[in-house]
Every structure is written in C-alpha cells, then in structure tokens.
C-alpha cells in the first residue's frame, strides 16, 4: 500500500497556503499520496478569485510579502503556486477535498473553485480516509 498523508487546512493565510504547496509537492515527488481537506476559512484558498494575504503584517506590507515570494518562485520556473499544486494533482499524487458542510454553511459554490479540486466530501468521508493514512496533520 502506498504511503499516504492527510492534511486539514482550516486557515486562509498566505503562509498556510505556502506550507500546503511545499508539503504537497514534496510529498508527491516522494511518491506519497497527499490529501488535503479544506474546511472553514481554508475553503477560500480553493476559490479561483481568492488571493491570500500575508498574516500579521501592516497593510502596505501584506501584498509586498506575497509579491516578493512569487518573484522568488519564478526563479524556480513557476509563475504561481497553483501551477505547482496542479502538477501534483494531474499526476494523481495530490487531492484537494472541500468540506461539503462548510461549503453549505459559508454558501461557497463548487463552480467558484479551481477545476482540479475534487468533489466535496463530508467530515465522515475524510475521517475514513484518515483510517489508512500514515499521518494526519492540521495546517
């Protein structure tokens, strides 16, 4: 059975998004199945129109921190972090699961999310995935 790691993403900050991207793509490169369950504010990361800001920084620096990081990514051949995630999704090693109950609660529609996001699942379905996981981590 291949190695599997499951993550709970419940925040929508640039830092949490960056952690998700780095852990997801690294695990995928190591042939580990990486599953991410997005709930509460973390769901906003899956929306095509959402642009996460850098937390705990005064207003003018929030956008600047993210912009600087994105410029550094270009040095590695990526225009944005979603390209990195999309590569892992297309290879089948990264799966992004939105929480169906939280989507209903926050009135977030599936059509507002990136096309490569999996169909929404409930908490019970995610917990069943965790039964077979080597690790479960909350971001």
Q: How does pLDDT run along the chain (139 residues), one tens digit per residue?
A: 579 999 999 998 878 888 888 899 999 999 999 999 999 999 999 998 887 665 555 555 556 666 776 677 677 776 677 888 888 899 999 999 999 999 999 999 999 999 999 999 999 999 999 998 888 888 7
Quick check: 11 and 42 in contact, CB under 8 A?
A: yes
Going 126 to 129 to 131 to 135, the CA torsion angle's sign is negative
> How confident is the model at residue 54, as a pLDDT?
57
Q: Answer whether 117's CB lies under 8 Å from 126's CB.
A: no
Considering the entire predicted model, what is its pTM?
A: 0.84
Domains, the chain, in order of start with CATH, read 4-138 (3.40.1260.10)
């Amino acid at each position: 059975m291949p190695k599997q790691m499951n993550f709970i993403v419940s925040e929508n900050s640039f830092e949490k998004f960056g952690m998700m991207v780095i852990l997801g793509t690294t695990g995928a490169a190591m042939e580990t199945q990486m599953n991410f369950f997005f709930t509460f504010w973390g769901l906003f990361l899956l929306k095509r129109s959402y642009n996460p800001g850098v937390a705990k920084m005064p207003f003018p620096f929030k956008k600047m921190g993210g912009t600087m990081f994105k410029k550094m990514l270009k040095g590695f051949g990526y225009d944005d972090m979603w390209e990195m995630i999309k590569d892992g999704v297309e290879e089948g090693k990264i799966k992004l699961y939105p929480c169906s109950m939280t989507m209903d609660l926050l009135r977030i529609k599936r059509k507002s999310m990136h096309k490569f996001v999996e169909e929404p699942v409930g908490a019970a379905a995610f917990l069943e995935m965790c039964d077979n996981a080597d690790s479960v981590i909350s971001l």
